[in-house]
């Protein structure tokens, strides 16, 4: 009997009752906002399958708390800080508050913080970064997230194959295409990309698009010009640029940093090697955080429209909560912000 019970999910009950999973969740949590007819159908199936909420669901109350939980890897990263601020603004405009949990890039703490957050009577969960960014989804983790999805909306900024969560993703492919087109239109042919890990989906996507655009313009791919650093910090950018300068056969004319933090490390390395930006090497990056505007020189960087990003994350979570059936996957467009860190070359370089 226990084995049969495990096979029954909130989605099976919803399908048989002809209602949404959110309606089943409301019946389980004794929410009054369900018609008597639907309630009876759901309760009959719950009794039939002897279905009961799991441990996480028992922490939920019968009324909404007005709180949306947000799980992030590291609030010190200005990308996550900026996005969290926009989510808080968007939530506040809709009479909701945020509960933020930060696991400091420690994957051992990620699930612990996840379950702790879910137990705090939040109405919906937004997951930024971490395992949802992995190129190959951990099926066990996806199943655990599905258990959370049974009782509340879950929205991610990455992908989680096999899960029932909603996705609000950046258009990484278009962003990298636009960055490469910009550099090539300014005469750059020796273009390097530094930072990140190949098992992270967005980094992998940028690497694929980088090679595709080189091929489109008949530019020979140089393996030395993709430097994986294993991280996204200033320190990793510094190490990556040092490695390139010590090992590459030819100095690149332009460097693409995987994010603004990495770009700061690249700039530090170039200065220590007495190389000027952009006179000797141009530097561009992704994220367009406050760092891009305040660095010297000011960084040309790919912007994500953080206000739209925050609005979409919060609106999606609330739309699921209110049974309004939002799109499963939504894409946030990118826009290149041109500043002082890239120069136009004359002739073939």
What pLDDT is stored for residue 26 in this prediction?
Answer: 75
CATH superfamily of domain region 172-303: Response regulator (3.40.50.2300)
In this predicted structure, what is the pLDDT of residue 327?
95
Identify the CATH number of the domain defined by range 2-52: 1.10.260.40
Contacts of 246 (CB under 8 A, 6+ apart): none
Same fold, 2-52 and 172-303: no
Distance CA 52, CA 48 (A): 11
Both tokens of 347, joined, read 């002739």
* pLDDT at residue number 60: 45
Q: Which residues contact 178 (CB under 8 A, 6 or more apart)?
A: 302, 334, 336
From residue 242, how far is each of 9, 188, 225, 227, 229 by CA, in Å? 52, 21, 13, 10, 11
CATH class of the region 61-170+305-334: alpha beta
In this prediction, residue 19 carries a pLDDT of: 84
At residue 190, the 3 state secondary structure works out as: coil
Q: What is the pLDDT of residue 5?
A: 39
Domain ranges of the chain: 2-52, 61-170+305-334, 172-303
DSSP 170-188: E-HHHHHHHHHHHHHHTT-
pLDDT confidence of residue 136: 95
Q: What is the pLDDT of residue 276?
A: 98
C-alpha R_g of the chain: 23
CA atoms within 13 A on the CB side of 144: 13
SS3 at position 109:
helix
Quote the tokens at residue 252. Answer: 């690149």
Residue 69 pairs in a beta bridge with: 99, 125
Q: What is the pLDDT along the chain (349 residues), one digit of tens a residue?
A: 333 434 577 777 888 888 877 788 778 776 667 888 888 898 898 888 877 665 445 444 446 889 999 999 999 999 999 999 999 999 999 999 999 999 999 988 998 899 889 888 899 999 999 999 999 999 999 988 988 888 899 999 999 998 889 999 999 999 999 999 999 999 999 999 999 999 999 999 999 999 999 999 999 999 999 999 999 999 999 999 999 999 999 999 999 999 999 999 999 999 999 999 999 999 999 999 999 999 999 999 999 999 999 999 999 999 998 888 899 999 999 999 999 999 999 865 4
Q: Rounded to 5 degrees, what are φ and ψ at 279?
A: -60, -40
Helix (H) or strand (E) holding 129: none
């Amino acid at each position: 009997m226990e084995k049969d019970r495990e096979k029954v999910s909130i989605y099976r009950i919803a399908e048989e009752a002809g209602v949404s999973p959110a309606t089943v969740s409301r019946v389980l949590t004794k929410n009054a906002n369900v018609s008597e007819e639907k309630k009876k159908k759901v309760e009959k199936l719950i009794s039939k399958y002897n279905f009961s909420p799991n441990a996480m669901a028992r922490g939920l109350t019968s009324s909404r708390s007005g709180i949306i939980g947000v799980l992030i890897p590291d609030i010190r990263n200005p990308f996550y800080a900026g996005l969290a601020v926009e989510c808080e603004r968007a939530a506040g405009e809709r009479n909701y508050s945020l509960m933020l949990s930060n696991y400091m890039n420690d994957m051992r703490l990620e699930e612990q913080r996840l379950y702790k957050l879910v137990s705090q009577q939040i109405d919906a969960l937004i997951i930024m970064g971490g395992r949802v960014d992995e190129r190959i989804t951990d099926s066990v983790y996806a199943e655990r997230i599905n258990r959370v999805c049974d009782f509340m909306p879950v929205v991610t900024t990455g992908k989680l194959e096999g899960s029932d969560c909603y996705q609000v993703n950046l258009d990484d492919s278009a962003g990298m295409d636009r960055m490469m087109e910009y550099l090539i239109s300014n005469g750059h042919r020796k273009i390097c990309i530094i930072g990140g890990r190949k098992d992270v989906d967005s980094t992998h996507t940028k690497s694929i698009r980088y090679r595709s655009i080189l091929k489109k313009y008949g530019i020979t791919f140089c393996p030395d010009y993709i430097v994986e650093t294993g991280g996204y910090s200033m320190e990793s950018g510094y190490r990556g640029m040092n490695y390139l300068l010590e090992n590459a056969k030819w100095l690149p004319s332009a460097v693409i940093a995987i994010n603004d933090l990495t770009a700061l490390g690249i700039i530090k390395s170039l200065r220590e090697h007495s190389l000027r930006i952009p006179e000797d090497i141009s530097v561009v990056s992704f994220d367009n955080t406050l760092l891009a505007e305040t660095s010297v020189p000011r960084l040309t960087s790919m912007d994500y429209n953080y206000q739209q990003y925050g609005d979409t994350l919060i609106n999606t979570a609330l739309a699921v909560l209110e049974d309004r059936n939002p799109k499963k996957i939504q894409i946030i467009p990118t826009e290149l912000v041109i500043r002082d860190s890239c120069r136009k070359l004359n002739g073939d370089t």
